[in-house]
Amino acid sequence: MPTTRIGPYKFRFYSSDRDEPPHMHVIRESKVAKLWLSPVSLQYNQGYRASEINTIMRLILDNREELLEAWYAYFSK
């Protein structure tokens, strides 16, 4: 599973995600959230506070191009 670390967060997607729009599962400790990349929006959240979700969304916006490149590079194989 491709993983990119940004700060304390792991941004990851799974091979089984192929049939879904581009997104990332964001993991930190026992918390996880799923966010769509186009447009950036929250799909679900398990354990993050709203302020931390806002931080994660800013990180995605700042790194969106790199995250999308990783997604498309992986699934174009």
Find where tokens 């959230």 sit. Answer: 33
Domain residue limits at 55: 3-75
Instruction: Give the tens place of pLDDT for each residue, 2-51.
Output: 899 999 999 999 999 999 999 999 999 999 999 999 999 999 999 999 99
Query: What is the number of domains present in the chain?
Result: 1
Q: What is the per-residue pLDDT for 2?
A: 87
The pTM for the full model equals 0.93
Comparing C-alpha atoms, which of 25, 23, 26 is closest to residue 38? Answer: 23
